[in-house]
Amino acid sequence: MQPLHLPEKLLADLEAGRRPLSAGQRAKLSFLLNAVETPLPAIYDFRGIGLANRLWSSQHVSLYIGRQSSDYQPGDIDPKLTCIIGHAEPDSPIALDYRTSPPRVVYMGQINNESVWIQLAPDYETFIQAIS
């Protein structure tokens, strides 16, 4: 499997030693996360990204695939083409979905008691602009 290359803007943010989201950014992101019960958003540093992505090789991976949906795009996720970069709440990852180019930003939410992946932004730069 080819390694997934992080978007340049995300790499720049990480290399600059990104601080945690500001209160204003958390509030804006929380507003966008309408399919999670209690938004507690966070965006990870390099170490956190590495730790979070161990999920894709764990026994729990099947709980995080989602399901295809015509109402919520993309609905499901391909673990081989996904990089977790944060969370909406502790069991709801925020990720880059590399099935599009550039990779879109998605999060896992609950709709009618089913887990689905929902697009937050068409790319990382648009995502950062939306919460800044």
> Does the residue 125 lie in any domain?
yes
Number of other CB atoms surrounding residue 123 within 10 Å: 18
> Does the residue 33 lie in any domain?
no
**How many structural domains are present in the chain?**
1
> Does the residue 97 lie in any domain?
yes
Given this model, what pLDDT does residue 4 score?
Answer: 82
The whole domain housing 127 covers 44-131
pTM: 0.93
pLDDT tens, position by position, 43-82: 999 999 999 999 999 999 999 999 988 888 999 999 999 9
> Does the residue 17 lie in any domain?
no
Question: What are the helix (H) ranges across 1-132?
Answer: 8-15, 23-32, 46-52, 124-131
